[in-house]
Amino acid sequence: MTKLPFSSATVADTVTVVILVILAVTTSAHALGSGATLAVSFGTGTVCGIVASQPTQRIECYRRGQTIPIDPNINFSSITGGRNFFCGLRSGGYSFLCWDTTDFSSTDFAFKRVYLNYTVRLENLSYGDDQVCATVVGTGSVNCWRVNDQFKLPSASDGFVSISSGFGFSCGILANDSQVQCWGSNTTIANQIQKEFGNMSMKSIVAGGSHVCGLNSTGFVICRGNNDSGQLDVPSNTSAGEFSTLALGESHSCGMRKLNGSVACWGGGGEYSVNVIQGVFFETIVSGSNFTCGLTSMNLSVICWGPGWPNSGGETPLPPVLPGPCNNQSCSGCGVYSQSQRLCSGFGNICKPCLLPVPPVPPPQTPPGPTGSPRPSTSRGLRRGLLAFCIVGSVGAFAGICTIIYCLWTGVCFGKKKVHNSVQPTITRAASSNNGVTSNNSPPSRSCTIRRQGSRLMRRQRSGTSSKHGDRAEEFSLAELAAATNNFSLENKLGAGSFGVVYRGKLTDGREVAIKRGETGSKMKKFQEKESAFDSELAFLSRLHHKHLVRLVGYCEEKDERLLVYEYMKNGALYDHLHDKNNVEKSSSVLNSWKMRIKIALDAARGIEYLHNYAVPPIIHRDIKSSNILLDANWTARVSDFGLSLMGPESDREYRPMKAAGTVGYIDPEYYGLNLLTAKSDVYGLGVVLLELLTGKRAIFKSGDDGRTPISVVDFAVPIIMAGELVKILDSRVGTPEMHEVEAVELMAYSAMHCVHLEGKERLTMADIVANLDRALALFDDSHGSISSGIISIASE
Ligand SMILES: *[C@@H]1O[C@H](CO)[C@@H](O)[C@H](O)[C@H]1NC(C)=O
Ligand SMILES: *[C@@H]1O[C@H](CO)[C@@H](O)[C@H](O)[C@H]1NC(C)=O
Ligand SMILES: *[C@@H]1O[C@H](CO)[C@@H](O)[C@H](O)[C@H]1NC(C)=O
Ligand SMILES: *[C@@H]1O[C@H](CO)[C@@H](O)[C@H](O)[C@H]1NC(C)=O
Ligand SMILES: *[C@@H]1O[C@H](CO)[C@@H](O)[C@H](O)[C@H]1NC(C)=O
Ligand SMILES: *[C@@H]1O[C@H](CO)[C@@H](O)[C@H](O)[C@H]1NC(C)=O
Ligand SMILES: *[C@@H]1O[C@H](CO)[C@@H](O)[C@H](O)[C@H]1NC(C)=O
Ligand SMILES: *[C@@H]1O[C@H](CO)[C@@H](O)[C@H](O)[C@H]1NC(C)=O
Ligand SMILES: *[C@@H]1O[C@H](CO)[C@@H](O)[C@H](O)[C@H]1NC(C)=O
Ligand SMILES: *[C@@H]1O[C@H](CO)[C@@H](O)[C@H](O)[C@H]1NC(C)=O
Ligand SMILES: *[C@@H]1O[C@H](CO)[C@@H](O)[C@H](O)[C@H]1NC(C)=O
Ligand SMILES: *[C@@H]1O[C@H](CO)[C@@H](O)[C@H](O)[C@H]1NC(C)=O
């Protein structure tokens, strides 16, 4: 299957190009219908392949002089590329992920999982700017995930066996009579091409910029459309069935010969008929708008050529790429690729392309022969169109995918509005940095960079307007609180927090509370100097109500004493459950399930997200750590100790965030280095907490041969997660995740990894984390689970 992405720089944003879905009964020698192992993301000049001869069939990309190992490092069976994205189908077909290649500052690409369903497996994944489509294993029905709404797609009753999109148009082959039909925003070109194909009977087609080439029913290459650069000039001596795979760009066409794998290109001003491809044999080829890449047969290296390829015509440093997908099915008809076992590392075989017509074998599984008669594919029942279910603005394809996920998730697209106020599309780092992208679907967009001065300003405003002992913060007397805590007795001591010692107490009305008593040290002295601020802050904080925040009930200010009264959290701090030896064996077994740990992570993330995005003014916690995440009687996690940073002791002139910069092991390195406090500092802290939940290790723990070298959980875990060996470091108290849990735990791990990036701008936002963890948690719950193909599956009666 060949997909031909291509685009044009000039109209890049207004017109969608490309794609794919060649569901045709084609003569394609390569991996008939089974997907490719080489793909280009043409907008960014990225070429990616599934690496051969490795324990894991992982993906690696090359872009502008850099090779980029793709994470997650897991097994993929096929990949497909679009303008700014490429997608990979996981081995087994139950899930596919897509990566955004536009982030040039980054050395890895952000990814999103678009599909997961263990019962409905996919194959023949094809991606374009507009949509990703795949067929369902077993039924052959086509599902598409629409990325962009540039094209009006045919109605669902039209049956197409092959669809490919060019510049402002798409063409497909009708299943019933094998004729070409074209449509699109540029009706001129669509009509012209359709007319030129006339009633010709075609087996497959591929679109380029404003031309289309395909194989007719006798295996000849037929090209129609724009001929400005000679792109229709198929070499004159071409014989029937000579070419198997076609790859078209904006103004050029290339074909790979079936028998010896040599490649011929035409059009494009002759710039594609370069020396580097003379005498070289290929396994497959793919084109971008102004370059073409091929996988060489000789040593499976990838070479690219054409004017759009920097240093045109050279071997890329990519490692050897698989010549076809590794699979466990038997290879009907044409045998197995030599060295298949080695290339697949024992994981299945690569089926060899069929060079000669395959004699008909008993139905129902007749592999189509290259010169066989046209078989109107009615038998296949490919009678469905492509469902346009979601309207997406021209904000870039990835945001589009996000929107789809969002739609599916919330049900909004299908009219059954399910309101999840905190579920937002997970927008990637890259997308977030694009202007306007985040605001596309997300609720109150907030600047992530809130300097403390900002909050101080707000504070003044508030203190101006709020009455002295504000709204709902109760004022207690010292005597009351002393009585509640048995005169601050040691037995009632719960621990020590950022502003002093915490006691458990019982008020006269029976309410259980946690009372924090400030030290009467210099810290508190300064604090006291700002009495009015103290009052108004408390009023403000006590008004914050959220089920994942520990509520401030009241306070006491008497003499030199300043006490804060909080809701009591019966099950204590997450830290104790994870790391306190006394606790570990006993009560903490509740935490020894992956579902519970993911739920705790999600609860905490929701609490922090509320502080960042919904509190007015926004609050940056500054000290997210597992000892500040408490568990209530129902084991719901709640974030505590927030807001106090707003009323830190320093005067404006003395403002030095370093002083109050949180806790070793959790401090955002950027905050540390640049003194810039942003919401991403909390993201970092939460990332460390996620890693603690995954590994059961402290933020800083002793390791090494002597067991004495301190190492941070970040330095310990991230490289291992990147290497795809997550399972090696998971907390053994919880145990190896079961089949259905793996995906969820991975999702949490990848989120964690993207929280602890050195640079804040590379990190996820709290909303992203909430969305990811929400998806992870949903995987435990079938009814509400993954992005199911069921929802968008197109009726295929
Ligand atoms: C999808 O791929 C499988 C092999 O993986 C192939 O047998 C099947 O015909 C393909 N389906 C279509 C519609 O091309
Ligand atoms: C990839 O598949 C092989 C063969 O099944 C397996 O041994 C290996 O662990 C897999 N790798 C990953 C990262 O899943
Ligand atoms: C094939 O289908 C198209 C549209 O569905 C219809 O217009 C055309 O008449 C059909 N042709 C035949 C031969 O049935
Ligand atoms: C339609 O496509 C043709 C051929 O590529 C081009 O010349 C023309 O400008 C396009 N029209 C529009 C409206 O984009
Ligand atoms: C295609 O149309 C022409 C007339 O335009 C007709 O002579 C020819 O028989 C048709 N061919 C097929 C295969 O229908
Ligand atoms: C396929 O194209 C070739 C070359 O144009 C032509 O000779 C042949 O008749 C075509 N086959 C069919 C079935 O139209
Ligand atoms: C395409 O253009 C070339 C000149 O660039 C011309 O020689 C050739 O005949 C044209 N081919 C077709 C099919 O119009
Ligand atoms: C490959 O085969 C084609 C015919 O199918 C032939 O014209 C060409 O010369 C061959 N190329 C090489 C490099 O042998
Ligand atoms: C692959 O083979 C080509 C010759 O076809 C050679 O130039 C190149 O260095 C080889 N690459 C690797 C990685 O072995
Ligand atoms: C190739 O196309 C890309 C966009 O797809 C464009 O940015 C680049 O300038 C083009 N290069 C050449 C040499 O035309
Ligand atoms: C625990 O859950 C129950 C039932 O959902 C609820 O009534 C109760 O208030 C919750 N307790 C806490 C401490 O949130
Ligand atoms: C997978 O798809 C099937 C069929 O559409 C659906 O019934 C099932 O609920 C899906 N499973 C999950 C986990 O979404």
Report pLDDT digits (tens) over 728-750: 899 988 988 887 788 889 889 98
Distance 195 CA to ligand 7 centre (A): 18
Instruction: State how far the Cα of 83 lies from the Cα of 41, in Å rounded to an integer.
Output: 5
Q: Which residue has the higher pLDDT, 15 or 679?
A: 679
Taking the mean position of all CA atoms in its chain, how far away is CA 372?
42
* 474-567: CATH number: 3.30.200.20
Q: What is the DSSP string of 319-333?
A: PPB-SS--BSS--TT
- Per the CATH hierarchy, to which homologous superfamily does domain 573-778 belong? Transferase(Phosphotransferase) domain 1 (1.10.510.10)
3-state secondary structure of 103: coil
Tokens of 367: 């592999």
User: Residue 357: CB partners within 8 Å, gap ≥ 6?
Assistant: 369, 370, 371, 372
Q: Which residue has the higher pLDDT, 521 or 670?
A: 670
pLDDT class of 172 with cuts at 50, 70, 90: confident
% the chain with pLDDT above 90? 24
Mean pLDDT is lowest, of 82-91, 250-259, 624-633, 762-771, for 82-91
- Residue 51's closest CA among 762, 724, 718? 724
Residues 6+ apart with CB under 8 A from 32: 1, 26, 353, 354, 367, 368
Q: Cite the beta strand spans of 177-301 per DSSP E.
A: 180-183, 202-207, 211-216, 221-225, 243-248, 252-257, 263-267, 282-287, 292-296
- List the structure tokens of 266: 């035409």
CA distance 531 to 562: 10
**Cβ of 216 less than 6 Å from ligand 6:** yes
Is 70 exceeded by the pLDDT of residue 151?
no
Confidence of residue 148 (pLDDT cuts 50, 70, 90): very low
pLDDT at 218 over 50: yes
Please give the Cα distance from 477 to 486 (Å, whole number).
Answer: 14
- Give yes or no for residue 220 CB within 6 A of ligand 6: yes
The closest residue, in CA terms, to atom 13 on ligand 2 is 74
Q: From residue 488, how far is each of 329, 504, 513, 559 by CA, in Å?
A: 71, 9, 13, 17
> Does ligand 9 lie within 6 Å of residue 316's CB atom?
no
Q: Is the pLDDT of residue 430 over 80?
A: no
Sequence-ordered list of residues with C-beta below 8 angstroms from that of 783, at least 6 positions apart, any chain = none
pLDDT at 655 > cutoff 60: no
Ligand 4 near 403 CB (within 6 A): no
Question: Would the pTM count as exceeding 0.75?
Answer: no
**Mean pLDDT along residues 460-481:** 57
- Verify whether ligand 1 is closer than 6 Å to residue 36 (CB atom): no
Contacts of 667 (CB under 8 A, 6+ apart): 661, 681, 684, 685
Average pLDDT of the chain?
Answer: 71
Overall average pLDDT of the 686-710 stretch: 89
Q: Which residues of 170-189 are buried (b: 16+ CB within 10 A; e: fewer)?
A: bbbbbbeebebbbbbbbeeb
CA distance 264 to 243: 9
Could you tell me which residue, 740 or 368, shows the higher pLDDT?
Answer: 740
Output the pLDDT for position 585.
Answer: 54
| Nearest Cα residue to 497 out of 648, 641, 660, 666 | 641
**Cβ-based neighbour number of residue 251 at 10 Å:** 25
For 26-41, the pLDDT digits (tens) are 222 222 234 689 998 8
Give the CA dihedral 67, 39, 352, 380, nearest 10 degrees. 150
Question: Which of 69, 98, 72 minimizes the C-alpha distance to 726?
Answer: 72
CA of 308 to the centre of ligand 10 (A): 5
> The CATH number of 17-343 is which of 3.40.50.300, 2.60.40.420, 2.130.10.30, 2.10.260.10?
2.130.10.30
Cβ neighbours of residue 702 closer than 8 Å, sequence gap 6 or more: 708, 709, 710, 711
CA distance 108 to 69: 7
**Predicted pLDDT at 355:** 57
> Which of these ranges, 30-39, 262-271, 297-306, 473-482, has the smallest mean pLDDT?
30-39
Distance in angstroms (rounded) separating the CA atoms of residues 666 and 683: 10
Closest residue by Cα to atom 1, ligand 2, is 56
Q: Is the pLDDT of residue 417 over 60?
A: no
Q: Counting ligands in written order, which one lies closest to the CA of residue 24?
A: 1
- The pLDDT tens digits of the residues spanning 120-136 come to 888 878 764 456 677 77
Domain range summary for the chain, segments of one domain joined by +: 17-343, 474-567, 573-778
Greater confidence (46 vs 496) lies with 46
- Rounded-to-integer distance, Cα 436 and Cα 445, Å: 10
